[in-house]
Amino acid sequence: MNKLVKRNLVRGLPSKLFENDQTCVACQKGKQHKASCKSKTENSISLPLHLLHMDWFGPTFVKSLKKKMYCIVVTDDYSRFTWVFFLATKDETTAILKSFITSIENLVDHKVKVIRRDNGTEFKNREMNQFCEMKGILRQFSVARTPQQNGVAKRRNKTLIEAARTMLADSKLPTTFWAEAVSTACYVQNIMLVVKPHNKTPYDLFLGRTPTLSFIRPFGCPVTIFNTIDHLGKFNGKVDEGFFVRYSLISKAFRVFSSRTRIVEENLHI
């Protein structure tokens, strides 16, 4: 208004200084925005497991090969190392998280200090509350409809889903392999992404070892699977045809889908 009067841009306004010394309620109702959540310039977390970001996605429209419809994504704040767990129902959340926290604390010489997640009921129940109190774990919950407060987990969800979708499209495998694609994407990102400002991979930051890439395979690529299950005669074929679908998390092996048996098996000899 003052600019209009000062520059004589319109007619009919009184020649005076317009002052706005109070907030317009109507303007607040019509124009109010969400408060911004500014990102940190420096990470205050200096140790693995000090802060874990958790989120989940689902239900998916198509069940996985093992009839799963949900996925929990856990990301370590310091190293950005990520784990994924697949569920048939949300009721499995507490048991999976309790088992994960116990096992991961035994793997590395650190304790989980803080868990940050959304306000979903699957993360807030009596059993999980008692477990966190017993372990001395502080829980931080994001405000409803404010996903940016759990931004690390949300961004990791997005990158995993986009990578899995791309791999499924490239391999031309059906959507039932979505869990295998997500698991493979998570594995590859853990050993290949570069985390700033450390300029190291999540694998190196979390486990203290340089990852090896010599065994990396394209998702869904055709493979010949050495038959180590059946008792074969001297002149029987020794291999089955199939597809590589993920990496084993418990042994030095690949997980492959056999076109003959129609199941996923672990095998090093491909």
Indicate whether 117 and 236 sit together in one domain.
Answer: no
Q: Averaging pLDDT over each range in 18-22, 101-105, 249-253, 258-262, which range is the top one? A: 101-105
Of the two residues 25 and 169, the one the predictor is more confident about is 169
pLDDT of residue 27: 57
pLDDT of residue 43: 60
Give mean pLDDT, residues 50-72.
93
Number of domains in the chain: 2
Categorize the per-residue pLDDT at 4 as very low, low, confident or very high, splitting at 50, 70 and 90.
low
Cis peptide before 197 (omega within 30 of 0): yes
Indicate whether 74 and 179 sit together in one domain.
Answer: yes
Indicate whether 183 and 236 sit together in one domain.
Answer: no
pLDDT of residue 26: 54
Give yes or no for residue 156 having a pLDDT over 70.
yes
pLDDT of residue 229: 65
The residue whose two tokens read 């998702």 is: 219
Q: Averaging pLDDT over each range in 15-19, 233-237, 260-264, which range is the top one? A: 260-264
Indicate whether 66 and 198 sit together in one domain.
Answer: yes
pLDDT of residue 266: 87
pLDDT of residue 40: 53
The residue whose two tokens read 């109702």 is: 29
pLDDT of residue 144: 56
Indicate whether 237 and 150 sit together in one domain.
Answer: no
Give mean pLDDT, residues 161-165.
94
Q: What is the pTM of this model?
A: 0.80
- Reduce the secondary structure of the chain to three states and give it as a string: CHHHHHCCCCCCCCCCCCCCCCCCHHHHHHHCCCCCCCCCCCCCCCCCCCEEEEEEECCCCCCCCCCCCEEEEEEECCCCCEEEEEECCHHHHHHHHHHHHHHHHHHCCCCCCEEEECCCHHHCCHHHHHHHHHHCCEEEECCCCCHHHHHHHHHHHHHHHHHHHHHHHHHCCCHHHHHHHHHHHHHHHHHHCCECCCCECHHHHHHCCCCCCCCCCCCCCEEEEECCCCCCCCCCCCEEEEEEEEECCCCCCEEEEECCCCCEEEECCC
- The mean pLDDT value of the chain amounts to 84
Indicate whether 74 and 200 sit together in one domain.
Answer: yes
Nearest to 267 by CA among 171, 246, 259, 84: 246
Residue 85 lies in a domain: yes
Indicate whether 71 and 123 sit together in one domain.
Answer: yes
Indicate whether 118 and 193 sit together in one domain.
Answer: yes
Give yes or no for residue 67 having a pLDDT over 90.
yes
Q: Which amino acid does the sequence have at 15?
A: S
Residue 57 lies in a domain: yes
Indicate whether 96 and 136 sit together in one domain.
Answer: yes
User: Where does a domain end: 162, 177, 207?
Assistant: 207
Indicate whether 122 and 179 sit together in one domain.
Answer: yes
Give yes or no for residue 163 having a pLDDT over 90.
yes
Residue 216 lies in a domain: no
Structural domain of residue 248, as residue ranges?
A: 222-267
Indicate whether 191 and 73 sit together in one domain.
Answer: yes
Cβ contact 88:61 at 8 Å: no
Indicate whether 154 and 239 sit together in one domain.
Answer: no
Give yes or no for residue 239 having a pLDDT over 80.
no
Tell me the C-alpha distance between 157 and 175, whole Å. 18
Residue 59 lies in a domain: yes
Residue 15 lies in a domain: no
pLDDT of residue 270: 76
Residue 212 lies in a domain: no
Indicate the burial class of 82 (C-beta count within 10 angstroms; 0-12, 13-18, 19 or more): buried
Residue 30 lies in a domain: no
Give mean pLDDT, residues 13-24.
68
pLDDT of residue 251: 81
